[in-house]
């Protein structure tokens, strides 16, 4: 099944880059064009900011986001004023971001836009829920894997991952890092009737018991050592609502209760631990689970890094394809 065949089954889709300059925006523009050719009505928004002409970190040129007539987009007031296209506003949200309220608009004449949408999972979900009223067939959420992003790509029906030469200056390291992320995507789900409830939680650590979810009154995993007497006071199953770090995992590994413990996080984007520390944790009997796994549909690759380092396109595609059981494509080189 091709990349396009896969995504045509979705009502909502995330495109997520492993790092800057992995070709995410190029993949987005490609998909927007293909969906237009198939007569699909599309909406697009972003977690964070995307579509800027110049990368604010590397000061290198970036591809801009190009929208065709009829596309619905959601961005902040600040970036809506900077658009290089003709559009009509169809909604102005009461929800505020650091760049102003969220503007929902429809493109009247094709052009370019910077997207800066909601920054939280709840905000993205709210945008997704309202798109049906605008006659949209598919909503695409543009995002990145980062501690700075609080929204999750697992709330959409499908996920496209972008990787490439920008990750490392050699093929083996690129494949290794991409494979490690793939392993996190495959973490088993923890099945509980409280899944929906837990996905809404923004802060704290909780015990998962047969009677339900018990707050441990630990505001952050960073304070685990201070509250270690409370940590396993209601059993050995813990839900961490925020990110899971090496520090937290190593602390848990040193506790006597680790042998039969289960640590649950929302999804793979909350796991910021090294493969070695994860192996040490599981070797002690600990288990890591997620509430929701992503539905990975395809992987796109960018064989060129901003530094000028380049890998032959087919070599990169073939190497990454050995890791994944979904289509791996370079949308520029076919």
32 band by pLDDT with thresholds 50, 70 and 90: very high
Q: What pLDDT shows up at residue 120?
A: 83
Stretch (H or E) spanning 103: strand 100-113
Which residue has 């899944």 as its token pair? 195
Checking if the pLDDT of 19 tops 90, the result is: no
Q: What pLDDT shows up at residue 202?
A: 82
For residue range 273-308, what is the model confidence (pLDDT) as tens digits? Answer: 999 999 999 999 999 999 999 999 999 999 999 988
Checking if the pLDDT of 222 tops 90, the result is: no
50 band by pLDDT with thresholds 50, 70 and 90: low
What is d(CA 45, CA 326) in angstroms, rounded to the nearest whole number?
25
Please provide the CATH number assigned to the domain covering 3-185+294-329.
3.40.50
Q: What pLDDT shows up at residue 98?
A: 85
What is d(CA 149, CA 172) in angstroms, rounded to the nearest whole number?
28
Q: At what angle do helices 313-321 and 171-185 cross, to 10 degrees?
A: 40
Give the count of beta carbons closer than 10 Å to the beta carbon of residue 256: 6
For residue range 53-98, what is the model confidence (pLDDT) as tens digits? Answer: 655 555 556 789 999 999 999 999 999 999 999 999 999 998 778 8
Query: What pTM value is reported for the model?
Result: 0.90
In this prediction, what percent of the chain has a pLDDT beyond 90? 69
Give the residue-averaged pLDDT of 15-38.
93
Per-domain boundaries in the chain: 3-185+294-329, 195-290
What is d(CA 284, CA 74) in angstroms, rounded to the nearest whole number?
46
108 band by pLDDT with thresholds 50, 70 and 90: very high
221 band by pLDDT with thresholds 50, 70 and 90: low
Q: Worst-scoring range by mean pLDDT, 42-51, 195-204, 243-252?
A: 42-51
The answer to whether the CB of 99 falls within 8 A of the CB of 119 is: no
Give the residue-averaged pLDDT of 150-175.
91
For 332, the token pair is 């520029």
Ranges of H-type helices in the chain: 3-7, 24-37, 77-80, 121-130, 171-185, 195-199, 228-231, 246-253, 275-283, 313-321
Q: Is 272 helix (H, G, I), strand (E, B) or coil?
A: strand
Parallel, antiparallel, or unpaired: how do β-strands 205-209 and 212-218 relate? antiparallel
Q: Worst-scoring range by mean pLDDT, 29-33, 57-61, 123-127?
A: 57-61
Average pLDDT, the chain: 90
Checking if the pLDDT of 1 tops 90, the result is: no
Farthest CA pair distance, the chain: 64
Q: How far is CA 249 from CA 50, 124, 159, in A?
A: 33, 29, 27
The answer to whether the CB of 165 falls within 8 A of the CB of 304 is: yes
For residue range 151-160, what is the model confidence (pLDDT) as tens digits? Answer: 678 889 999 9
Which residue has 């972008």 as its token pair? 162
Higher pLDDT, 152 or 135: 135
Checking if the pLDDT of 334 tops 90, the result is: no
DSSP 261: -
The answer to whether the CB of 26 falls within 8 A of the CB of 331 is: yes
What is d(CA 32, CA 115) in angstroms, rounded to the nearest whole number?
14
């Amino acid at each position: 099944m091709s990349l396009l065949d896969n995504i045509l089954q979705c009502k909502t889709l995330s495109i997520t880059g492993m790092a800057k300059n992995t070709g995410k925006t190029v993949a987005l523009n490609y998909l927007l064009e293909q969906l237009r050719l198939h007569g699909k009505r599309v909406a697009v928004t972003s977690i964070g900011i995307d579509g800027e002409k110049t990368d604010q970190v590397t000061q290198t040129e970036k591809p801009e986001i190009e929208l065709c007539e009829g596309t619905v987009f959601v961005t902040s007031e600040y970036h809506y004023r900077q658009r290089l296209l003709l559009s009509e506003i169809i909604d102005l949200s009461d929800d505020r971001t650091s760049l102003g309220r969220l503007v929902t608009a429809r493109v009247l004449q094709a052009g370019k836009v910077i997207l800066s949408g909601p920054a939280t999972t709840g905000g993205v979900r709210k945008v997704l829920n309202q798109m049906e009223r605008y006659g949209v067939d598919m909503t695409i959420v543009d995002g990145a894997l980062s501690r700075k992003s609080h929204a999750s790509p697992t709330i959409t029906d499908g996920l496209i991952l972008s990787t490439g030469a920008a990750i490392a200056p050699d093929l083996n390291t690129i494949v290794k890092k991409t494979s490690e992320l793939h392993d996190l995507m495959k973490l088993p789900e923890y099945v509980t009737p409280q899944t929906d409830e837990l996905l809404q939680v923004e802060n704290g650590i909780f015990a998962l018991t047969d009677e339900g979810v018990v707050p441990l009154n630990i505001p952050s995993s960073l304070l685990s050592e201070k509250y270690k007497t409370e940590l396993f006071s209601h059993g050995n199953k813990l839900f961490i609502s925020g990110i899971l770090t090496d520090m937290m995992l190593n602390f848990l590994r040193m506790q006597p209760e680790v042998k039969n413990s289960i640590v649950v996080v929302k999804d793979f984007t909350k796991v910021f631990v090294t493969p070695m520390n994860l192996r040490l944790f599981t070797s002690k009997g600990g288990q890591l689970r997620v509430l929701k796994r992503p539905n990975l549909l395809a992987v796109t690759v960018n064989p060129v890094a901003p530094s000028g380092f380049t890998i032959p396109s087919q070599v990169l595609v073939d190497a990454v394809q050995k890791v994944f059981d979904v289509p791996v494509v370079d949308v520029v080189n076919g």
